[in-house]
Chain A
Amino acid sequence: MSAASVIADWSAPNQERARRLLETYPEERSAVMPLLYLASLEHGYLTSAGMTQVAQLTGLTSAQVQSVASFYTMFKRDHVGRYLISVCTSISCYLLGADDVLAAVETETTARDGTTSVDGAFTVEHVECIGACGGAPAVQVNYELVEGVLPEKATALCKWLRETSPDVVMTDAMQKSFGGVRSFDWGIGEEQGAVAPVPAFGPYGSTGGESAR
């Protein structure tokens, strides 16, 4: 089956991204992880059908794709809310009150850790270190980082998400409104943001770049 016919039901931009990804690697199977993000973006989360499509694109079996997908927690194999709130509970953030941040997020979103709110707006999870220890406690919204998020800021952040329901979330914008101490000045601001609970790396095709600009 040709690549195009396998994902004929995907949106045109996602089909195009998939085509580019497959061209990027000398071995098609090397594209498996970015394609899994694309499939998640396409279907809202990583469905069985999505894994089978990625298998057909890469020449792997569905079982092999499932093996890769199940190893990494960032491939969500169940429904995810519109905004995925990841609260770091590793050591630095823990010492600076991550438990309270998580509790505040749970209260505001009405989603318990590891679940999705009834209205489908939020999925809440606790995660291991997200590399922002200097800016602890740290939180991610659709993998866009916000640092120095004390409990009341976290509450405000979630409230803002619900009330304005932004199409794109962006680190710099959220940091300005809801962040506190940053680990360091990250330099030139990023222009791309996340449109879905999938990382916002342009080349990996998920979001941002194009639509945010």
Chain B
Amino acid sequence: MPERPPPEMVTITIDGREVEVPQGEYIIKVAEDLGTYIPRFCYHPRMTPVGLCRMCLVEVETPRGRLLTTACNTPVAPEMIVDTESAVVQKAQEGILEFLLINHPLDCPVCDKGGECPLQDQTVAYGPGESRFVEEKRHFEKPIPLSDIVLMDRERCILCARCTRFSEEVSGDPLIEFVGRGNQTHVITFPDEPFASYFSGNTVEICPVGALTAKPYRFKARPWDLEAIESVSMVDASGASISIETSQNEVVRINGIDNDATNHGWLSDKDRFIFQAVNSENRLTAPLVRDDAGNLQPTSWGEALDRVADALGSVRGDEVASIGGANNTNEEAFALGKFLRSVVMTPHIDVQVGDALNPDFLVGITPRAEIRDLDRAATILVWAGDLKEEFPTLYLRVRRAVTQMGAKLVVVHPRRTGLDDLAAAKITYRPGEGPEVVRKLAAGADADYAAARELLTAGSVTALIGLTGRAEDPRLAEVVAAYALDLPGAKVLPLARRGNVFGGLDMGLAPTLLPGRVPVTSESGRAELESAWGPLPDAVGRDAAAILAGLAEGEVKVLLLVGADPVRDGRNPDSARAALAAADFVVSFDMFLNDSNQHAAVVLPVDGFAETEGTVTNVEGRVQKAYRSMTWDRLVWGPERDGVVMPDGPGIQELQYTPDGGGVRSTAGRLALHSGRVLYDAGTRNVQSPALAALVPDPAVYLHPRDASALALTDSQVVDVTGEFGAVRLPVRIDATLAEGSAYVPANLESTWMLGVPDVVTIEASSAEEVAE
């Protein structure tokens, strides 16, 4: 891959100091790197400068004499002479602040931004001290809701365009814009088109005044009362850096932290507001055990733990199994894995609940991409779930790579995804026909795929590969990866969604892996671990699906559910429920009751996100520290680590893929289910966060217009969707972006989970009488 040449350096003079700086860099950035802070409002390092607020004026010597110019959008040039604190500059700064405050309401004592407000702070530091303005300020009705989450107090706005630029440039959904002119200008949505963006919370964070506020934090706390700690978002596995802010031992806000490797400071609204679940009234606080009448009753820890110990002691080690652990830190996962393997002596451990991706593929594939590779890629291949729904901050990185770094994008998916508008080539295929698509791409014969093929063979490729939907055969990801690795300069980022699933795999929470990505089947690897841990089971364990099957057959008797809900997240809700019922004993570690642990013998409440401390590993293998913001427990930590842990050598084990896709489940001739995930699904944490619960979409089944007309169905008609595991009644939505021959049912909405995840479904109109009931 051609490395970018280092930037040319130029010599300039800033405040009398001669310095070498990279050509083309803006004065404001150069000065900041040299330790000189130039005040600013509209400038944001992650967005294109616009020179709107004029706060960053500096004096620059020109052939026409010394002139005031904006430092945020003036690039340095050879022999430039810049003065950032001359008397003229100071007068300009005072003038700009006096001007900005003409219409700004000075309601700081009741404003949420007061105490952390750039306008307040810079007025103190650079302002004139008093204003000559005695006239009436502008007034607006306040606040107006821009969406269910974001509110706008227009009179506070200083028209810096940070929020509007963010929504256009970064998140690509410009639903807010300036309207009006002169002193009537303000930021607003189009009537009846709310600011329904997955990323709306970022505008609140970057607004340099208190004009934009978010409901979950509005009037909740004052900045000086907040304690902030750095942590990692566990909403998905992208490893977004966050600052968790608490007041009186309660999380009140989450902000983004600019991490160059991951999220650039941006968060999805789910990352930002999911903390409400931590504060939920419905959290479990005491251990629950099942009484003789079959009801869960609160009890003491001693009693609950005795029951668990008795159950574990009453069966053979390999009759015990564990599902889950992706919401835990690496240290917790390590402790759990060590306990299960060396004390209980069971190999039946799986951190993945429903995805069933090959652990060797997830942690072992090489060359493995970092998120940063997106910025250098000539072509990006996304053959995975809709990133906007499943990996929102990673979606922003792909978006940036395409819109600003010049990468070309190829998207392969059964339906429209959030990235399609940016894609130079898009392939829509029926779930089940993925291997066929790979074959055609590789063979290069098919004219339909010529555009995609050309892009994929043109230059260095970074491929993001995962499951496009839950009904997709997990082995397809390996087939795709095998194809992608043959492309020029290819690097693959395998995607699995759950918070710390990669950390769980690294810590050995997989049927095939010991801690440190050592295969269970490696004699030497196991021997080394046994020298520390004592004897270990040597068999390859059962994965989540096989564990449930083992429960039903009586071969597995005791089950640990570690923050897992296999009824909702597995393929077949009924058989998962039956398996749990067949178990001798189920113990669940969870923050909430769910469809699975309602039937457990013992439910142990656990610490949640923000309450535990440890390390978390993201999709790249990057290990980051998550600090604890609240005190709920006492756990002992492993040593702090940072950096990306890359697999060494050619992967830990040959991937068991068949490049021709043989063995991947086929759905030929029937309506294939596309079970794609949505960001705001009816998962427990969403439902327990009031700000997000309101955003869960209504369930529906989406059909291609031709399939709908073949079945004589119309939009909004109510139908019965039936698969091998269950049925659900849903309204039809006609969707021309969906592959013909498939039915899209968003995963895990209020009713759709009851369908399970069959490969194929049949669809029949519900009879009118039944619908009426």
Contacts from A to B (Cβ < 8 Å): 48, 51-52, 60-67, 70-71
Contacts and interface: CB of A to CB of B under 8 A. Distances in A.
B189 A71 contact: no
A61 B181 contact: no
Looking at A61, A63, A65, A66, the one whose CB has the most chain B CB atoms below 10 A away is A63
B540 to A, nearest CB: 53
Given A61-B174, A63-B174, A64-B174, A51 B190 contact: yes
B129 interface: no
B191 interface: yes
Contacts of A67: 177-179
B63 interface: no
5 contacts: A48-B192, A51-B190, A62-B190, A63-B189, A70-B181
Nearest to A73: B181
Interface string B173-189: 11111111100000011
B144 to A, nearest CB: 14
B193 interface: yes
Interface in B594-628: none
Contacts of B178: 67, 71
Contacts of A62: 190, 193
A71 B193 CA distance: 20
Nearest to B184: A70
Nearest to B193: A62
Interface in B138-183: 168, 173-181
Looking at A51, A67, A71, the one whose CB has the most chain B CB atoms below 10 A away is A67
Contacts of A61: 173-175, 177, 190, 193
Chain A facing B: main interface SS:
helix
A67 B178 CA distance: 5
Contacts of B181: 70-71
Contacts of A60: 174
Contacts of A51: 190
Contact of A66 (B168, B173, B190): B190
Interface of B: 168, 173-181, 188-193
Given A61-B190, A63-B190, A70-B181, 20 more contacts: A48-B190, A48-B191, A48-B192, A51-B190, A60-B174, A61-B173, A61-B174, A61-B177, A61-B193, A63-B174, A63-B175, A63-B188, A63-B189, A63-B193, A64-B168, A67-B177, A67-B178, A71-B178, A71-B179, A71-B181
A62 B177 CA distance: 9
A48 B181 CA distance: 19
B403 to A, nearest CB: 14
Nearest to B421: A59
A79 to B, nearest CB: 16
Contacts of A64: 168, 174, 177
A48 B189 CA distance: 12
Contact of A71 (B176, B180, B191): B180
Contacts of B177: 61, 63-64, 66-67
A52 B191 CA distance: 10
B190 A70 contact: no
Contacts of A63: 174-177, 188-190, 193
B191 A70 contact: no
A184 to B, nearest CB: 31
Contacts of B176: 63
A163 to B, nearest CB: 37
A132 B188 CA distance: 36
Contacts of B192: 48
A14 B351 CA distance: 61
A175 B373 CA distance: 68
A210 B188 CA distance: 39
Contacts of B173: 61
A66 B181 CA distance: 12
Looking at A51, A65, A71, the one whose CB has the most chain B CB atoms below 10 A away is A71
Q: Which 4 A-B pairs have CB atoms at the shortest separation, nearest pair first? A: A67-B177, A62-B190, A70-B179, A63-B177
Contacts of B188: 63
B85 to A, nearest CB: 36
Contact of A70 (B174, B180, B193): B180
Contacts of B180: 70-71
B298 to A, nearest CB: 51
Nearest to B181: A71
Nearest to A77: B179
A46 to B, nearest CB: 13
A57 B421 CA distance: 16
A62 B176 CA distance: 9
Nearest to A59: B421
A60 B164 CA distance: 14
A67 B167 CA distance: 14
A146 B104 CA distance: 43
B310 to A, nearest CB: 62
A70 B191 CA distance: 13
A109 B168 CA distance: 45
B146 to A, nearest CB: 10
A66 B179 contact: yes
A156 to B, nearest CB: 34
Looking at B174, B177, B178, B181, the one whose CB has the most chain A CB atoms below 10 A away is B177
Contacts of B190: 48, 51-52, 61-63, 65-66
Contacts of B168: 64
B716 to A, nearest CB: 19
A51 B173 CA distance: 17
Contacts of A71: 178-181
B218 to A, nearest CB: 23
B115 to A, nearest CB: 31
A60 B105 CA distance: 33
A62 B192 CA distance: 10
A2 to B, nearest CB: 12
A2 B596 CA distance: 48
A70 B181 CA distance: 7
Contacts of A65: 190
A70 B180 CA distance: 5
Nearest to A60: B174
A112 B666 CA distance: 73
B715 to A, nearest CB: 15
A33 B185 CA distance: 19
Nearest to A67: B177
Nearest to B179: A70
Nearest to A70: B179
A84 to B, nearest CB: 19
A67 B189 CA distance: 9
Contacts of B175: 61, 63
A60 B180 CA distance: 18
A164 B440 CA distance: 71
A114 to B, nearest CB: 14
A64 B161 CA distance: 13
A188 to B, nearest CB: 35
Nearest to B195: A63
B600 to A, nearest CB: 48
A70 B189 CA distance: 12
A61 B180 CA distance: 17
A60 B191 CA distance: 15
A169 to B, nearest CB: 28
A65 B177 CA distance: 9
Contacts of B174: 60-61, 63-64
Contacts of A52: 190
A48 B168 CA distance: 21
B173 to A, nearest CB: 8
Nearest to A52: B190
A71 B176 CA distance: 15
A7 to B, nearest CB: 18
A67 B173 CA distance: 15
B172 to A, nearest CB: 10
A101 to B, nearest CB: 25
B162 to A, nearest CB: 16
A66 B349 CA distance: 56
A61 B194 CA distance: 12
A52 B175 CA distance: 12
Nearest to A55: B190
